[in-house]
Amino acid sequence: MYGLGWGSSRLKKADRGQIRIIEAFLAVLIIFSAFAVSADLTGSRSATKSESLASIGLHSLMKLDQDGRLGMYITDGDFTALREALDLILPAGICFNLTVYVTVYDEQMQRLNTDVITNGGFNSQEVAFVEYICASQSATLRCYVIHVNLGMAT
Amino acid sequence: MPAVSIDTFFACALMVIAVLSAMAGTSTLLHPYINSAVDKNTAERYEEISKYLLLNSGTPLNWGQNGSIKPETFGLAKMGTENPYELDIDKVSRLNSESMQAMSYAELFTSIGLPDVAFRLEIKPVFEVFINLTATFPSTDNTEYQFEILTEKNGAPVPVYLKCYVIAENYLSTTEVYVSGGKTRQNVTISNNVHGPSLLAVLARSAYDARIASSKVYAFAHKTAEPKPRGTFLRLSPLSYVLNASFAYPAVNLSSAYALTFEYNSTLTQKASDNGSATYEIPHFLDPSLMIIALTGWNSTAFFIEWVAYPQVPVQVGADFAGFTSLSNVFAYMYVVTINSAIFECTVWVGGPRD
């Protein structure tokens, strides 16, 4: 570089190596900083969208569960009603697929729905995941864990 | 000039050009990302504001129930509720410009206390009901009307249970039907001795969740000219389970008043009346449904039916952001809210000047 060449003309020949090392170190630092900043910015954009989707999904499940209806659908095995109610309550353009697990005492979670509970083709770039826990309304307490993947319909 | 000076001059110039170019390039490259970071902070702030509007009851806590109270701080949540996003029926009704106790946007804006933030609120049923009168079959004694009723959400059919009420002079009939494909035909037969105009009020609830409800009212001519637009004879304002009917003409005489929900209906009793208005008590039905209140009466020799929904939804209030999106940051947030156990869709737009 001209600048360093000009500056180094005044330096002793023995110090030239040190300047080159500092120059290389600074260059590497600048390049990696640029990568780090860019990665962080792009990541935050997509994170905002999926947070918003997750918030809508969680909120919709909460509303369905407000009068215990969500647990009732699962206890009755009425996954069609669950799918239709969630599809109706979610804003237009949001697709989902849902899996329901049951936990009994300390046993491992067991999947309850054999078929996929979905409102259409799940093919989206923006995907959010929501985990929701609800209880059965029957005399025997059962804890249901609902996993929902949400995406914007394309 | 010595050669070393020329060398120094070119070296300096080249360094300055290189540094300036790098700065310009970096700025251009990162500008959209930096902007989006600012937008993200703004969006988060606006989201918290939109939540505050729906989760906070405002002060005084019961500002919705008394039409003369203007809230010091604005919030739509029901007083003392344990459920998030449960809104107060009267606070929501006071957002509707048709209400006599409606709050203006200027009053709402002041009560929020954020001078740099404008907002818009929309509350509506999750799905829509459409009614079309498709045919009329007059005969000697009766007239039969054929209606097509559609239930849709963004064009997709919604399976529902429908409750249809037909109101005319001293006449109230009900029918209930299940509609699986979002479309049905209903025939209504009214005696020719009954005075028109008539009203078809349809209350719908989802086949899968009774709290997801909607309604539609259709006024139609029966042995009369076409019905006058809503509000021609009366201005109806339900608030705190009292219906206030304000007369548009001094010759108005009221006949009957009905409160209709999906499960229940009731004839209302007049509490008080004077020359220009009348009040009725509205019953508290244990039904997660919209309520339609219909009043019949005479203006001289003309029979009329006026109606109002309670809560007064759909409602839209606030700033109109159309055309200002390039000058301001506007964000929309969607929520599912409950009013009297019925589920509604609420959209809050929050905007402010662009940084």
**pLDDT, tens digit (0-9, with 9 covering 90-100), for B42-58:** 888 899 999 999 999 99
Task: Please identify among residues 176-235 of chain B the ones whose CB lies closer than 8 Å to any CB of chain A.
Answer: 206-209, 211-212
Mean pLDDT of B253-263: 94
Across the A/B interface, how many CB contacts are shorter than 8 Å? 76
Instruction: Let me know: does B136 contact B222? Beta carbons within 8 Å.
Output: no
Q: What is the amino acid identity at position B130?
A: F
Residue B235 has pLDDT above 90, yes or no: yes
Q: What is the DSSP letter of B269?
A: P
Torsion sign across C-alpha atoms B295, B297, B299, B302? positive
Taking an 8 Å cut-off on Cβ atoms, the answer to whether A5 and B341 are in contact is no
A31 at B interface, C-beta within 8 A:
no
User: For the segment B274-299, what is each residue's pLDDT rounded down to a tens digit?
Assistant: 888 999 999 999 888 889 999 999 99
Supply angle C-alpha B233, B234, B238, rounded to 5: 165
Instruction: Determine the distance in angstroms separating the CA of B206 from the nearest CA of chain A, rounded to an integer.
Output: 8
Confidence of residue A3 (pLDDT cuts 50, 70, 90): very low
Residue A141 has pLDDT above 50, yes or no: yes
The C-alpha atoms of residue B276 and residue B254 are separated, in whole angstroms, by: 11
Instruction: Give chain A positions within 8 Å (CB) of B40.
Output: 44-45, 48
User: For the segment A31-55, what is each residue's pLDDT rounded down to a tens digit?
Assistant: 777 667 655 555 455 556 677 888 8
User: For the segment B143-156, what is each residue's pLDDT rounded down to a tens digit?
Assistant: 999 999 999 998 89
Torsion sign across C-alpha atoms A46, A49, A51, A54? negative
Place of tokens 């109610």: A85
Q: What is the DSSP letter of B257?
A: E
Q: What is the pLDDT of residue A39?
A: 58
Mean pLDDT of A145-149: 92
A12 at B interface, C-beta within 8 A:
no
Among B8, B11, B336, select the one facing A59 at the smallest CB separation. B336
Residue of A nearest to B331 (CA): A52
Mean pLDDT of B20-45: 74
B9 at A interface, C-beta within 8 A:
no
Q: What is the DSSP letter of B306?
A: E
Q: Which fold has domain A49-152?
A: Ribosomal protein S3 C-terminal domain (3.30.1140)
Q: What is the pLDDT of residue A2?
A: 46
Confidence of residue B326 (pLDDT cuts 50, 70, 90): low
Taking an 8 Å cut-off on Cβ atoms, the answer to whether A6 and B336 are in contact is no
Taking an 8 Å cut-off on Cβ atoms, the answer to whether A84 and B83 are in contact is no
Taking an 8 Å cut-off on Cβ atoms, the answer to whether A56 and B208 are in contact is no
Question: How many other C-beta atoms are found inside a 10 Å radius of the C-beta of residue B355?
Answer: 9
A10 at B interface, C-beta within 8 A:
no
Confidence of residue A12 (pLDDT cuts 50, 70, 90): low
Among A6, A66, A88, select the one facing B7 at the smallest CB separation. A6
How far is C-alpha B262 from the geometric centre of its chain's CA atoms?
19
Mean pLDDT of B31-51: 77
Q: What is the DSSP letter of A141?
A: -
The DSSP string of B204-227 is EEESS-TTBEEEEEEEE-SSSSPP
Instruction: Give chain B positions within 8 Å (CB) of A81.
Output: 208-209
Among A3, A34, A89, select the one facing B126 at the smallest CB separation. A89
A41 at B interface, C-beta within 8 A:
yes
Q: What is the amino acid identity at position B226?
A: E
Determine what percent of chain B falls in helix, strand and coil, rounding each to the nearest 5: 20, 45, 35
Instruction: Give chain A positions within 8 Å (CB) of B8.
Output: 6
Instruction: Determine the distance in angstroms separating the CA of B13 from the nearest CA of chain A, rounded to an integer.
Output: 10
The C-alpha atoms of residue A127 and residue A61 are separated, in whole angstroms, by: 17
Beta bridge partners of B185: B148
User: For the segment B75-130, what is each residue's pLDDT rounded down to a tens digit?
Assistant: 999 998 888 899 999 999 999 999 999 999 999 999 988 888 999 999 999 999 99
Within 13 Å and on the Cβ side, how many CA atoms surround B215?
27
What stretch of H or E contains B246? strand B242-247
Instruction: Give chain A positions within 8 Å (CB) of B211.
Output: 67, 69
Taking an 8 Å cut-off on Cβ atoms, the answer to whether A88 and B209 are in contact is yes
Q: What is the DSSP letter of A49?
A: H
Question: How many other C-beta atoms are found inside a 10 Å radius of the C-beta of residue B142?
Answer: 13
Give φ, ψ of B234 to 5 degrees. -135, 150
Percent of chain B with pLDDT over 70: 95
Q: Please list, in sequence order, all residues whose beta carbon lies within 8 angstroms of the beta carbon of residue B76, skipping any fewer than 6 positions away.
A: B53, B54, B56, B57, B58, B87, B88, B91, B92, B95
Q: What is the pLDDT of chain A when averaged over all its residues?
A: 79
Q: Show the domains of chain B with their CATH numbers.
A: 128-230+250-306 (2.60.40.1940)
